[in-house]
Amino acid sequence: MIGGLESFEGLQWRPFFGYVDCETPIEFELSVPQHPWDPESSAVGGSDRSTASVWESFVIRHDRGATLHLRMFESEYVTLFEPMMRTLWGQAQDFTLRLDANEPSTEHTVQLVGPWMTDGLKPRRGDYPGTYEVDLQVCTADGSQFPEYYFPEPDESW
């Protein structure tokens, strides 16, 4: 029991993951809701200045993604999250992320941006006993923006 709750089943923003390991589909959702994510936008390309001081630039693609601030039980980290990360590092594949396991409309096909394999995984102790927190950087595989907001948009009554 954490924070007076015995189950997090119906709570929003518990992430769902789906990936393939040696042709075996694996799906799981974390038990603890994630913290609000931070949106990110970056581009792949470059720029240069000629000897005549004329700038030139090019963009190959724009990446839109987010840094997820995941929370999970220690047992989920060891049995679900760490094996998924090892597979993603080793196979460099797209995977399925549903920001809210209960809401199919929040599903995206994403690519892992960080942590890199050379960075390793460094979970932090969570707010509650027996929990870890891990940051995960992802970008959408098709370049689309994450349209979801963690907090609802304010309306005219605000």
Q: For residue 97, is it within any domain?
A: yes
Say how many domains are in the chain: 1
Query: What average pLDDT does the segment 38-66 reach?
Result: 85
Q: Position of tokens 């399925």?
A: 96
Residue 66 lies in a domain: yes
Mean pLDDT of 132-158: 76
Q: Is residue 146 part of a domain?
A: no
Helix H, strand E, coil C: the string for the chain is: CECCECCCCCCCCCCEEEEEECCEEEEEECCCCCEEEEEEEEEEEEEEECCCCCEEEEEEEEEEEEEEEEEEEHHHHHHHHHHHHHHHHHHCCCEEEECCCCCHHHEEEEEEEECCCCCCCCCEECCCCCEEEEEEEEEECCCCCCCCCCCCCCCCCC
**Domain annotation covers residue 2:** no
* Residues 9-42 pLDDT 10s: 667 889 999 999 888 999 999 999 999 888 887 7
Q: Can you give the pLDDT at residue 44?
A: 83
Q: What is the pLDDT of residues 95-132, one digit of tens each?
A: 999 999 998 988 999 999 989 888 889 999 998 899 99
Q: 64 falls in which pLDDT band (50, 70, 90)?
A: confident
**What is the mean predicted confidence (pLDDT) over 123-143?**
91
Nearest-angstrom CA–CA distance, 55 and 40: 26
Domain that holds residue 29: 16-140
Residue 99 counted as domain residue: yes
Q: Is residue 5 part of a domain?
A: no
Q: Is the pTM of this model over 0.85?
A: no
Residue 96 lies in a domain: yes
What is the rounded distance in angstroms from the CA atom of residue 82 to the CA atom of residue 79?
7
Does 41 fall in a domain? yes
